[in-house]
Amino acid sequence: MRTDKQIEASRINGQKSLGPITEEGKATSSLNAVRHGLLSNTLVLPGESEERFLQLLAELIEEHCPSNRTQLKLVENLAVAEWRRSRLLGVETAGIAEEIYTQESSPGIAEKPASSRASIAMRRIHDTSGFLDLMNRYDARLGRECNSIEKRLDILKKR
């Protein structure tokens, strides 16, 4: 989740933007709604907020100010990776919460602090399935993907 400082910096940077200037940039910008609609239709799962995904995408476009199709595509890929990473956090939280709820029938566990119950839940999940390992692998892969995309964007902007 973005901090207030990041949001304020994005707001300030957004005020500096004049929008697309070149014909190529204007042509790219004119397709934003179509492209973004397609992305949200294929990426946002039932029960997730399409509006929140589009907001994330708009914030990343504002932050990175892509000036051509290649840069815009990289920003879109970054939005997808960040959205999936956020989803993973929700899935992991739900998995641990489910295991905590199953503990309620175990004597003495309900009186333990939340952190102890979470620790017990995580150990049980780890011992009985590869769920947490899988979540960690996906998160690591998506983290590397985000870093790689941001590095490529930086390189393209410096050219």
* Count of the separate structural domains present in the chain: 1
Helix, strand, coil percentages, rounded to 5, for the chain:
80, 0, 20
CA 26/CA 48 separation, integer angstroms: 31
Per-residue pLDDT tens over the stretch 3-36: 888 878 777 777 776 666 777 666 556 545 444 4
Q: Which domain holds residue 11?
A: 4-158
The string of pLDDT tens digits covering residues 54-104 is 999 999 999 999 999 999 999 999 999 999 999 999 989 998 888 888 887
The residue with tokens 């960040």 is 82
